[in-house]
Chain A
Amino acid sequence: MEDAMKRLYILASVTLLASPALALTPKATKDVPKEKDAYIAKTLTAAPEAVSKNATIVRVNDTFDVTETLQKGTNNFTCGIEPDSGNPFCADEYSMRWYKAAYSNGEPPPGFGLAYMQGGDTGISNHDPAATDHSHWVEAPQHVMLLGPGVKELAASYPRKLDPDPMQPFVMFPGHKYEHLMIPIDREPDGTQ
């Protein structure tokens, strides 16, 4: 009986503590602010301050060419807002090249990259980035993306479902040339994020 009570207590406390955290995951919007300060502010939500503070901040067009540099950074990361989804991102050097390929229907270049996307995700069809009918729709929580041909083995080791549980590591666009690994990194509201 005592054990059962304890188990119930643990279950209850896990549920209580987990739910506000989920609720706190920011709901991304498709907005790409025209005004500079608002654009930068949204961009900065993409990564921990230690990354975004020293990153280059840019605007990109529909083919992911940089159209304006709003802040010149000192680290390897470039932050901006995806033009179609409105998702803020901070991408390392390789990931910017990957992005460029993905937005111009090119082949991902050889490499392996890390991109932070802590500002949430407005969602995308998981079978094809070009799909417009909301089929296999997936909205990820705060996450990092591991990108490029260097991620093949990783992508073979995690769920490759068209309708994945986005709260666990999963492969986005499985089998597609732009497949990549998504790793949730949301934390407790009183944690360090």
Chain B
Amino acid sequence: MIRLTLLVSVAFCVSPAVLGHDSPRRPVPTTKPEYMSMVRTAAPPATIQNATILMPDGRGDTLTLQLGTNGFTCDIPPRGILKCADEGGMAWLKAIRSGGESSDKTGIIYMLGNEPDTNHHHHTEAMQEHTSWAEGGPHVMIVGRGAREAANFLFYTQNANPEQAVLMYSGTKYEHLMLPMPAGKKSVVSP
């Protein structure tokens, strides 16, 4: 019964988001206004407003749509997983994409525009091993030294709770914290 309630509640939260939201697998927009519109779902409005916004031009170069002042860089890579990352976050992403050493610099990566995770398993073993770190529904990632320190205090097991802060890629050089930001409208005030 509890499981049913959970499922129903997940379905409720997910559906409006699916209807009105961009899927990370959706093709990356090729016009600047559409691209900006999609990027804006990645992070809080004030973060976007002062961030550097980059857009691939489709010919291997990158256009700077907006030059920022807050240290965050937002973009939609070819796979369509939009994000805003600060300097530590960008360094970590660069490392994981190239297979290089992870940066020690602490960072924050917003991925609030991710498609809600419909199976509601943010942190299964399969996710750890086989699927992308970027596919776990809307979330915020903490990377670098700050994540490793916090990890020393995390006692939660992988499947403890889908809303719990969780350590991903535990024990590897890409170890990071994932803070789920579940999708769905905010709880409705009394009926």
Contacts and interface: CB of A to CB of B under 8 A. Distances in A.
B136 interface: no
A37 interface: yes
B185 interface: yes
B182 A51 contact: yes
Interface string B24-63: 0000000011001100110011111110000000000000
A22 interface: yes
Contacts of B105: 157
A153 B145 contact: yes
A87 interface: no
A113 to B, nearest CB: 8
Contacts of B148: 153
Given A92-B165, A149-B153, A49 B186 contact: yes
B126 interface: no
B76 interface: no
Contact of B154 (A22, A54, A112, A141): A112
A47 B164 CA distance: 12
A191 B116 CA distance: 12
A60 interface: no
B106 A157 contact: yes
Contacts of A37: 190
Given A114-B179, A144-B140, A187 B36 contact: no
Interface of B: 2, 5-6, 9-10, 12-13, 16-17, 20-21, 32-33, 36-37, 40-41, 44-50, 65-66, 70, 86, 88, 105-108, 112-113, 116, 138, 140, 142, 144-146, 148-154, 156, 160-165, 179, 181-190
